Structure 1
Amino acid sequence: MLRLLAVLVLLSASVHANDFVDNGWLAPENLPDYLNQFQKQQQQARLELDGQRYPLGFLDMDLEEQRAYLSFDQGVIVAELGDESDGERELVILLGNPDDLDAMMEAPDKVLIDEQAQLTTEGDNSVFRSLLEDEQSGARQQALLVFNDSVFEAGSSSLNVVGHQAILKGDLGTNAYLQLRTLIRTHPEVTELVFQDVPGSLFDGINLHSGRLVRQAGLTTVMPSDGEAYSGGVDLFLAGAKRIYQPGGKLGVHSWCCKEDKGADELPKSHPAHHAQLTFVREMLGPELGPEFYFYTLEVAPFDGIHLMSHDEIRHYLKPQPF
């Protein structure tokens, strides 16, 4: 359960936390307004470089170094955030083949850098204005980077329809909710949601609503023998009206962080911070097994670790059919 709140704590000086999210959870009555704001923000977020406009994706956040790693279809952006909202920050753009990020990060085709890029807060947006210098040629070019909550909430998910199945991969977020909603509306032939590679959720608040879409549509969730789902991906898997598990598939769970500077496993079971997740798992697994499963996930691994569920644990908690 990757927690967007950890990101928003770091960005609070430069990015306005979403008005519709309370303690990381999104109330059903706030969902329509939230989606409307998300889509408006997503249209604003962009990189402008060499006269071209590129949409942004979220890659990672280094909380210790206070740097955001963003993707676009020509490479990777590394933006220094810092503790203050406005001022000079380092901005680096690595150009290369984004299909192999590790190799590109290690040996980019070009490195563009500005150690004094101007960061300002403009409404919901954090805006970098920069004159980047090519490390090799010394050539300079102007860049504009605009990002906001939507970049960190969107995720990287994709859905590919093959017959009666929809193949899901990537980090879950608000895009996954929108993709599932469209899938259900436009592909009535799809009865199974197959988990290929789902590392987790960037925004658990919307992920719970994605799970409710899956359950309401009566979709079967399938973990194939070569598939894997972790954290919020497991939350979405358990939302299936029926669950199919093939031995070899990986399901990983852990605790979450943080509330009152404590991990969820350190909070009393009666703490209100558990309420949203407990409500969800009760809906999906029942009034007894749901809470049992939720507190089990908090106990078996810390928020920065992972526990791969054993076959016995999968059989007990998730009750796949057949097993």
Structure 2
Amino acid sequence: MMKRIACALLLSIVCAAPTSAQEVATRTWVDSHGTRWTEVTTTQTVVEVPRGQRIAAAIAGLPRFGPFAVIDGAHAALVGEVDSKSPAQFRQMLAANPGIRVLELVDCPGTVNDGANLALGRLIREHRLTTDVPSGGSVRSGGLELFLAGTTRRAAPDAEFGVHAWKDAAGHQPGDYPADAPANLVYLDYYREMGLSNEEAEGLYALTNSVSNEQMLWLRTRDIAPYVALGR
């Protein structure tokens, strides 16, 4: 029952239908022959509610811990950007809700602090959570590292993954360093720590760095499946 409630909430977030407004205008006139004419024009305007507004409406009233929203006793959702406070907020959430087993990655725009993001990923793995990207869910940039952290990883076929190269404070990107430089190894080591083989880690890292930090490569679940073991 609780899982059905969780799924219903997530579907309301990512699959909400656009709202519409209808306007009817009537014009009547008499022509030169004395015939009366009436013209009715119907205009329908479809308004797409921004994703951020849909999320805010869906999680209103739920317990919040930074970018995390507690859906029920076993499920939480990540619905915002990760920053330096997020690892502590994650710990606080689990302390208050020790039964949480699944982290739904509903809308993950990434992080403003790569170190905190990797620390959060290690906490997710330490607590053996399942990471799940529901239908319509979006995981972007550093959100991929959090998805990898799940001891079981699930993603709907239409889940969206947006990846690009990282950029450090000096403006340097992965290709500006040797392949075995610490700046690159920190991610490869993390991928291996999350259970990827050397070949999978190197392949996924190359894929994420195939476009610059200023761009975004959009992928579906089938595109990352060769590198990431997915459960059901």
TM range (shorter): 0.5 to 0.7
Indicate yes or no: 2:189 matched with 1:279: yes
Instruction: Give the letter for the 2:159 counterpart.
Output: G
1:290 aligns with 2:201: yes
* Preserved CA contact (<8 Å) 1:282 1:291: no
Mapped partners of 1:305, 1:263: distance in 2: 12
Residue 252 (structure 1) aligned with residue 162 (structure 2):
yes
**TM-score normalised by the chain length of structure 2:** 0.66
Match of 1:170 in 2: 80
What secondary structure sits across from 2:85 in the alignment?
helix
SS of aligned partner of 1:262: coil
Displacement of 1:261 after TM fit?
4.9
- The question of whether the paired residues in 1 share the 8 Å contact of 2:84 and 2:116 is answered with yes
Whether the aligned pair in 1 keeps the contact of 2:130 and 2:150 (CA below 8 Å) is yes
Count of matched residue positions in the alignment of Structure 1 and Structure 2? 169
| Aligned match for 2:106, one of 192, 196, 212 | 196
Distance change in 2, residues 1:166/1:267 (3 Å): same
Contact 1:255 1:265 in 2 (8 A): no
Q: Distance in 1 between matches of 2:222 and 2:134?
A: 17
8 Å Cα contact 1:228-1:251 kept in structure 2 = yes
The separation in 2 between residues aligned to 1:227 and 1:213, in whole angstroms, is 22
1:319 counterpart SS class: coil
Shift of 1:184: 2.4
> 2:56 aligns to what?
none
CA RMSD of aligned residues (A): 2.3
**The residue matched to 1:285 in structure 2 has which SS?**
coil
User: If each structure's strand is expressed as a fraction of its own residues, which one has the higher value?
Assistant: 1
| Inter-CA distance 259–265: structure 2 relative to 1 (3 Å threshold) | farther
Residues 311 and 286 (structure 1 numbering): CA distance in 2 closer, same or farther, change over 3 Å?
A: closer
Structure 2, unmatched stretches of 5+, are 1-49, 53-65
Structure having the higher Rg: 2
How much has 1:309 moved relative to structure 2? 1.9
Identity of aligned residues (%): 30
Following TM superposition, by how much is the alpha carbon of 1:272 offset from its aligned partner in structure 2, in angstroms? 2.2
**1:280 CA displacement:** 1.0
In the alignment, residue 144 of structure 2 is paired with which amino acid?
A: V
How many angstroms apart in 2 are the aligned matches of 1:192 and 1:238?
Answer: 13
What are the superposed Cα offsets for residues 272-322 of structure 1, whole Å, 9 maximum, x if unpaired? 2112222211101334122331222112x1111111123332211222213
Check conservation: 1:161, 1:190, Cα contact below 8 A: no
2:131 to 221, 240, 248: 221
The residue matched to 2:225 in structure 1 has which SS? Answer: helix
- Using the size of structure 1 for normalisation, the TM-score is 0.48
Preserved contact between residue 160 and residue 168 of structure 1 (Cα < 8 Å): no
Does residue 1:208 correspond to 2:118, yes or no? Answer: yes
- Cα distance between partner residues in 1 of 2:153 and 2:170: 35
| Secondary structure in structure 2 of the residue aligned to 1:313 | helix
